[in-house]
Structure 1
Amino acid sequence: MTTTHGTEIPDVKTLQTLVAEHPEFIIDLAADPPDWDQIPMEHRELLRQGGQHLLGKEHLLRSLLDKILLFDDPGPSLEWLKNTGIMEHLLPELFATVNLSDESERRHKHVWDHTKQVVAQSPPDLIVRYAALFHDIGKVKTREFNETGKVTFYGHDIVGAGMFRAIARRLGLEKDKAKILYALIKYHLRPGQYEASWTDSAVRRMGKEVGEDLWERLLDLGRADITSKRPGKREAAIRHIDELQQRLFAIREEDSRVPPLPKGLGNLIMEKAGIPPGPRLGAIIRWLEAQVEAGAILPHQPGEYYVSLLHTYPLGKEPS
């Protein structure tokens, strides 16, 4: 039979042989999957059996993910992996999120649907898309409901990052990529935790904790992770992350500037001028910085140059 998608579905007997002897064809179909609803039930059951025959062939899944995660919408391909049992057998941590949804009156976002949306909303950067695919796997182990029915997933970022290590090994991800993805999953909540009231020091600490080579991708993941349907809420949250990015850029630029005074100048002044550590030494350093900023003396000179200028230090500047 042929689906309206144009994919040839072999007869049952041929399909049985393919599933048993060449199950990798099921992975190949994921790149351009047929409509699952148009596949007869008997064929579906055979396709689902193929997943278990693919154990040990995770490298094929890795190659497929490298391809489909860069599609404009990887959702249909990911659904194929779910429906055919490939995800259940090769990525059980991700498959466990499929049924993690509402329970009775206790409601929360359907994690699997949310994950697919986050992947699609991510920029076409393979690292960010991989992180989006696995960013919420820790929710399965951390879900709790309080007495009012409100759901929490405390620590799912840390738990999920730990779970991802096994996935990285299974898929054969290179160590450098696995390390980056581990960190993106571990820190994926950070962008949403930002408050405009944070001091520059707090923003700087976050940037250093995450790593300068990582936070731009982390902010991309943070924007993609906003899936609210409430009018204006998603736009406001994205603006919030944009503000964090602007502050991180400004702080990085400020921190990259070469200080006008040489490193170790304080020690040199103590040695040459006999000035002990304390308020007076701090006042002298600040005075020299002000003189440089005013253009009265030159920046980026050897320490001896600034020591030679100490005789011009005004006594009125002495701290009380």
Structure 2
Amino acid sequence: MTDPSARPAGPDTPAHPDTAARLEIARTRAATMFRALPEEIHDLGRRFEDAGFELALVGGPVRDAVLGRSSADLDFTTSARPDDTEAILRTWTRDGAIWDMGRQFGTLGGVRDGVKVEITTYRTETYDPTSRKPQVAFGDTLIGDLSRRDFTVNAMAVRIPSLDLVDPFDGLADLAAGVLRTPVAPEQSFDDDPLRMMRAVRFVSQLGFALHPATAAAVEALADRITIVSAERVREELVRLICGQHPRRGLELMVDLGLAAHMLPELPAMQLELDEHHRHKDVYQHSLTVLDQAIDLESEPGSGGPCESPDLVLRLAALLHDIGKPATRRFEEGGTVTFRFHETVGAKMAARRLKALTFDKDTTKKVARLVELHLRFHGYADAPWTDSAVRRYVTDAGDLLERLHRLTRADVTTRNRRKARHLARAYDELEQRIADLAEQEEIGKIRPDLDGNRIMELLGIGPGREVGEAYKHLLELRMEHGPLGPERAEQELRAWWEARGAADRL
């Protein structure tokens, strides 16, 4: 367990010795970004100002501007009530292109010349302890609205059109220091909305930040509150975390602070005690290392290559590939530790957990299949396969073959360099054989030499179980011998049919 007090501190004890310089850079960068806002935004601000209302850019777009990142989302908050906001938006959009995104919560949207905005009336919130859904009431001040937000780095605003930065909770300093703090007491913030605890570890993954000690301690104390959050919302945050730039950091915090025990308990369960002779690896740390290595093997974003980053299916499979080891660990005579069939058990466990987290069926099926197949290659490393075995490997992987390639390579974490080189050479050879067979046989689209219609025609039968059995027999022959050609395939089919009939007569 990591001591929260050992984590990087907040702006009063900066995480970086050059925080002051970073803060000045952040201020300069933010001012430049805000001045570069589209003219449509400045015009919108003037319209609110002329009508006697305040308007401010708020939250993520402000944070991203300070970090030097552009943001597609333009979220605003205002002192105007929804009816007044709608009236101003109708004059701003010119053609009335506005939409109601939740008038009861004070949110409306509009677009003008491709510039989309979402505007929400200042709000205050109170929470029922049994639910994370707030009772929303409209507020009167920008500071009050900012105080209800999750973290100080998201509790900054820029008044429009004056471009004055409003930062009542020192979010700019926290951004420069790389620290996550809550605007109010973290115990209050997380007790009000437990999902913020998942957002905290997610921001660690996405931004590479550290949690302020008080923030970390509050997560640890209130971790069980995450159970009142819907599985769908937890899944959304988990996906963002795993697809972040530093997923390992976020996952380790989830485990260290107790969150994972309530929503992904299989992860901390992999922290097996090592046997006294250290004959097996730390499964938990091994899995995190495999995740890191799988990410390194992803194609560059936007490249169009296989497993383009971030590849959620590959990352989930890497994280969960050894999920079945705790359930299958056995201590044999002589101190040997085994995990027989952990890939099969793990595939079922992964499917159950992803289903519980409401992942879609396609993602769940793909991750479970990769977990099931992740050990298949190791037989090849011991003794080269026949062409038939290579064909089966490709066919079993199907459209997951590229991900299986990367998962298999990432699963090599041995410190024995000789062994690592041997495994790498063996997999290089396997991939080359797959490529050679693919060129000869279209290995990725293996089908029997005869289709179902031809099988029925030759055997004089109609649709039914026997057609499926004949198809399966021809597929096995295709796997074993490669393309047979129509003439030989027909001979083999008739021979199989006759033998089947003879067996039935016995």
For residue 64 of structure 1, report the CA deviation from its aligned partner: 2.8
- Partner residue in 2 for 1:83: 256
Q: Distance in 2 between matches of 1:26 and 1:173?
A: 20
Q: Is the 8 A contact 2:373 2:397 kept in 1?
A: no
Give the TM-score taking structure 1 as reference length. Answer: 0.72
2:199 & 2:217 partners in 1: Cα distance?
Answer: 18
Query: Equivalent residue for 1:287?
Result: none
Asked if residue 201 in structure 1 is aligned to residue 373 in structure 2, the reply is no
User: What are structure 2's unaligned runs of at least 5 residues?
Assistant: 1-9, 16-176, 299-308, 459-484, 487-506
Counterpart-to-counterpart distance in 2, 1:143 and 1:248 = 34
1:14 to 2:200 alignment: no
Task: Identify the match of residue 290 of structure 2 among 105, 118, 128.
Answer: 118
CA distance in structure 2 between the aligned counterparts of 1:20 and 1:110, rounded to whole angstroms: 34
User: Is 1:27–1:60's contact at 8 Å kept on the other side of the alignment?
Assistant: no
Q: CA RMSD in A?
A: 2.8
Could you tell me whether the CA contact under 8 Å between 1:93 and 1:137 is conserved in 2?
yes
Matched residues in 1 for 2:180 and 2:217: separation?
17
CA gap 1:251/1:81 in 2 versus in 1, 3 angstroms: same
In the alignment, which of 222, 225, 232 is matched to residue 53 of structure 1?
225
The amino acid that maps onto 1:114 is H
Asked if the contact 1:191–1:218 (Cα under 8 Å) also holds between the matched residues in 2, the reply is no
Which stretch has the larger CA shift, 225-234 or 45-54?
Answer: 45-54
Residue 415 (structure 2) pairs with residue 225 (structure 1): no
Partner of 1:241: 427
Structure 1 residue 105 corresponds to structure 2 residue 256: no
Give 1:164's aligned residue: 350
Alignment of 1:1-320 (within 5 A): 1-2=10-11, 4=15, 5-10=177-182, 14-33=185-204, 34-35=209-210, 39=213, 44-55=216-227, 56-97=229-270, 99-122=271-294, 123=298, 124=309, 125-195=311-381, 197-208=384-395, 210-256=396-442
Q: State the one-letter code of the partner of 1:90.
A: M
- Do the aligned partners of 2:195 and 2:234 also contact (CA within 8 Å) in 1? no
SS of match in other structure, 1:228? coil
For residues 314 and 398 of structure 2, the distance between their equivalents in structure 1, rounded to whole angstroms, comes to 16
Cα distance in 2, alignment partners of residues 49 and 16 from structure 1: 8
For 2:240, give the aligned amino acid: K
Offset of residue 204 of structure 1? 1.2
More strand by share: 2
Q: Deviations over 1:15-42 (max 9, x none)?
A: 2212211111111121333546x726xx
After alignment, is 240-249 or 178-187 more displaced? 240-249
Cα distance in 2 for partners of 1:73, 1:214 equals 24
Instruction: Tell me if structure 1 keeps the 8 A contact 2:269–2:326.
Output: yes
Deviation at residue 190 of structure 1 after TM alignment: 0.9
Question: Any idea what the Cα deviations from partners look like across 1:262-320, whole Å, max 9, x if unmatched?
Answer: 968xx99xxxxxxxxxxxxxxxxxxxxxxxxxxxxxx99xxxxxxxxxxxxxxxxxxxx
**How far is 1:120 from its partner?**
0.6
**CA shift for structure 1 position 152:** 0.8
Secondary structure class of the residue paired with 1:148: helix
Contact 1:191/1:219 (CA < 8 Å) preserved in 2?
no
Q: Could you state the TM-score of these two structures normalised by the residue count of structure 2?
A: 0.47
**Higher relative contact order (Cα pairs below 8 Å, separated by 6+ residues):** 1
Query: How far apart are the structure 2 equivalents of 1:49 and 1:60?
Result: 21
Between Structure 1 and Structure 2, how many residues are aligned?
259
Q: Which amino acid aligns with 1:206?
A: Y
Q: Identify if the C-alpha distance between structure 1 residues 187 and 8 changes in structure 2 by more than 3 Å, giving closer, same or farther.
A: closer
How many Å apart are 1:106 and its aligned residue?
4.8
1:112 is displaced (CA, Å) by: 0.9
Which position in structure 1 is the counterpart of 2:144?
none
For residues 93-151 of structure 1, the C-alpha deviation after alignment (integer angstroms, 9 at most, x for no partner) is 12211x21313335421111111110010023221111001111100100111122121
Identity among equivalent pairs (%): 32
Equivalent pair of 1:223/1:238 in contact (CA under 8 Å): yes
CA contact (8 A) 1:192 1:241 kept: no
Rounded to whole Å, the distance in 1 between the matches of 2:312 and 2:182 is: 33
Tell me the SS of whatever aligns to 1:128.
Answer: helix
Residue identity opposite 2:287 in structure 1: T
Residue type at the aligned position of 1:92: P
Deviation by residue 1:186-208 (Cα, 9 ceiling, x = unmatched): 11101222145311112112222
1:72 Cα deviation from its structure 2 partner: 4.5
